[in-house]
Structure 1
Amino acid sequence: MVTNPLPSLDQINALTLQGITLLTTLNELLDAEYKALQQREVEQLQTLVDNKTAVLLQLEENNQARNQCFGAAGISPDKAGLTDYQARLTDAEGLSFKAHWSELEQILRQVNDKNKRNEIVISRNSRNLEQLMNILRGQNQKNTLYNQSGGKGNYAAQNSLGKA
């Protein structure tokens, strides 16, 4: 039985550090996006979305490269595979790998939390905008019901007829 050689720890650590750098950049962009959302700076938001898209593409390439390194060695890029890879390393190498990987996981959790925070702000702003638009159209939220086709219908006229 021929075993695949382990991927180079230097190569894995370099890709992991690159991933950390990209996630840190994304983390900073999410903070800037949050501020722009609060201040409703549309042009700033567009620039941030473009920057986030570019960083996400780079992050995807980084993730694929890291997965290819593990895949070439027959190691699955999941928790069990990474634990197995770390167990095959010397103690010093294992500590180095674990430190880098833990930092990557930590920054990824931060990015996920900030993304959820921004998503909540966007959703809330969208609801507020819809309510304002309804007010401008003269639609009272209490008068909006679902019609037979499942769409929203404005039944304010029926309310007026009922009073007559």
Structure 2
Amino acid sequence: MVRYFIAALVACSAAASLTACTSGSQTDTQPSAKFVPLSIQTAAGEHKFTVEVARTPEEQERGLMFRTSLAGDRGMIFPYDPPRPASFWMKNTLIPLDMIFIRKDGTIARIADNTTPESLEPVQSGEPVAAVLELAGGRAAELGIAEGDTVSWTG
């Protein structure tokens, strides 16, 4: 899945403002994965998903790497407390993803749609965010999800 890109290698430390890179698993979900309901309120209505929570640094590093598919009603959320600038890359990510960068108030700051599998090009939030949501590539456009829409989840 997605590996975090570090603006500087020093950022890999615990005090860093960005989370960093690395390993993966070939399973479609992780054995200890936690799933929560998530909804996105758009101009066209509410869209519901069940998302895996990347809670630990290891889960965030692994993300959706090596997965070969992602159902249209599934995704992964990367929560940050406190909010911070986020930057991802697609190394070892085999499927295109939509990356939705979410502000602390739940509004969508930016959408990077159909990111290129296995790319090392950084995909950045552009501002501090409280979470990043990954959905199957093209799903945001298909559902009319746009910047300014509101995302909410529990957990």
TM-score bracket, normalised by the shorter chain, equals under 0.3
Between structure 1 and structure 2, the one with the greater Rg is 1
More strand by proportion, 1 or 2? 2
TM-score w.r.t. structure 1 length? 0.22
